[in-house]
Amino acid sequence: EAAEKGGYAHFMLKEIHEQPRALRDTLASRLDVSSGGVKLEGVNLTSEEARSLQKVVLIACGTAAYAGMAGKYIWERLLRLPVEFDVASEFRYRQPLLDEHTLALVISQSGETADTLAGLREAKKHKARILAITNVVGSSVAREADDVLYTWAGPEIAVASTKAYLTQLAALYLLALYLGRARGEATWALELARELACAPSKVEKIFDLEEEIQELASNLAPHEHAFYLGRGLDYAVALEGALKLKEISYLHAEACPAGELKHGPLALIEDGTPVIALATQEDLLEKMLSNIKEVKARGAWVLALALEGNEAVAQEADRVLYLPRIHPILSPLVSAVPLQLLAYYVAKARGCPIDKPRNLAKSVTVE
């Protein structure tokens, strides 16, 4: 097992570090940077089919669902197509309205999650077109979908998903390019493709922050609660960041859309409460800054994540992790990684069994 971990203390840390490679593998052969086009083997919607889509429904669980939630923000903004988000176990039982103009987007690392599969079958019954993103070739989800885009993350061993999440995001950007061009509305394609191609090297730069993150984790480790705040795409990433911390460190972590603070969570902020504030969405920056002030005024200790050059954040937060500058719509690719590292080092400081957290399984094949 030590050999399989390639010198890392845990599979999770190894998998976090594999992300630049996993991203490159998922993107490189498919992305044409000179035209903004993509070649996606296994995805066969014609222009006519893509144009006839009226909405997208997401079917996924856990981390894959949070990748999908980021996808909702990304696709709605780029494709101007409504995307419904709920987790597969809710989707199945809410009698969703689907027809042949619906695209059911199924995301599953393993391709075997029971609720996700059941959701897929429900969508199929209503004649929705099933498009799957999965990491396992020939998995149940892959076999039952109409179209499949594989993530090339490689085997993921740690229960807490990291490289699968990042490559699911990459797949969502690739599919946005595919559908945008097929629907004939992709003036943004060239810029997005170029920026996307640079993402793996930006993710690599995050590891320069690793020591600092380890030090920050030691501040967090003695606490029992932590709050993650964000707006827009940052909120989707906050959910995933909080999930990572919960899963492996057993610290209670709650993600909150920053605008909802006043509607409840603010009551829980007291002296020293750790708050992780994501502030990569610069069109929402003023609002985030005022949310940071709001929690600081109640005594919170604030660790912010911002894009390089954003000095205003440093004036409000206790600490800032500056991330390589990237197009704001691609920010989850760089902001998710420090949150994975933070969860990892908090769990390590608390002496938790990182790769196999209590009560959790890698693949949930029963309901």
Catalytic residues: 362
Q: In the bound complex, what is the minimum distance in angstroms from residue 140's beta carbon to ligand G6P?
A: 10
Candidate residues 26, 102, 113, 140; the one interacting with ligand G6P per rule CB under 6 A = 113
Q: In the bound complex, what is the minimum distance in angstroms from residue 63's beta carbon to ligand G6P?
A: 3
- In DSSP notation, 254-273 reads EEEEGGGGGGTGGGG--TT-
If the CB atoms of residues 103 and 142 are measured against ligand G6P, the closer one turns out to be: 142
The residue nearest ligand G6P at its CB is 62
Give the whole-angstrom CA distance, residue 123 versus residue 102: 9
Burial call 107-119: b when 16+ CB within 10 Å, e when fewer: bbbbbbbbbbbbb
E strands along 222-356, which residues?
Answer: 225-230, 252-257, 274-279, 301-307, 319-323
Neighbours of 208 (CB within 10 A): 9
Helix (H, G, I), strand (E, B) or coil at 326: coil
Establish if 242 lies at the interface with ligand G6P (CB under 6 A): no
Establish if 139 lies at the interface with ligand G6P (CB under 6 A): no
Residue 58: CA atoms inside 13 Å, Cβ hemisphere, count?
Answer: 27
Candidate residues 109, 273, 291, 335; the one interacting with ligand G6P per rule CB under 6 A = 109
Number of residues that bind ligand G6P (CB under 6 A): 16
Q: In the bound complex, what is the minimum distance in angstroms from residue 52's beta carbon to ligand G6P?
A: 28
If the CB atoms of residues 19 and 110 are measured against ligand G6P, the closer one turns out to be: 110
Piece of 61-69, 146-154, 188-196, 295-303 that binds ligand G6P (CB under 6 A) = 61-69
Candidate residues 64, 302, 320, 337; the one interacting with ligand G6P per rule CB under 6 A = 64
Establish if 116 lies at the interface with ligand G6P (CB under 6 A): yes
Establish if 363 lies at the interface with ligand G6P (CB under 6 A): yes
Neighbours of 6 (CB within 10 A): 11
Tokens standing for residue 97: 């309205």
If the CB atoms of residues 102 and 113 are measured against ligand G6P, the closer one turns out to be: 113
Task: Please report, in angstroms and rounded to a whole number, the separation of the first and last CA atoms in the chain.
Answer: 31
If the CB atoms of residues 108 and 331 are measured against ligand G6P, the closer one turns out to be: 108
If the CB atoms of residues 108 and 249 are measured against ligand G6P, the closer one turns out to be: 108
Tokens standing for residue 327: 């197009």
Piece of 50-58, 92-100, 333-341, 357-365 that binds ligand G6P (CB under 6 A) = 357-365
Neighbours of 316 (CB within 10 A): 19
Helix (H, G, I), strand (E, B) or coil at 85: coil
- Partnered with residue 106 across adjacent β-strands are 59, 132
Establish if 162 lies at the interface with ligand G6P (CB under 6 A): no
Tokens standing for residue 273: 């409460």
Q: How far is CA 295 from CA 59, 273, 304, 346, in A?
A: 34, 9, 12, 22
Q: State the Rg of the chain over Cα.
A: 20
Establish if 140 lies at the interface with ligand G6P (CB under 6 A): no
If the CB atoms of residues 195 and 240 are measured against ligand G6P, the closer one turns out to be: 240
Give the whole-angstrom CA distance, residue 306 versus residue 72: 22
Piece of 17-25, 36-44, 95-103, 156-164 that binds ligand G6P (CB under 6 A) = 156-164
Tokens standing for residue 26: 């998922």
Candidate residues 110, 140, 151, 340; the one interacting with ligand G6P per rule CB under 6 A = 110
Candidate residues 20, 36, 62, 200; the one interacting with ligand G6P per rule CB under 6 A = 62
Establish if 161 lies at the interface with ligand G6P (CB under 6 A): yes
Site residues (CB under 6 A) for ligand G6P? 61-64, 108-110, 113, 116, 159-161, 360, 362-364
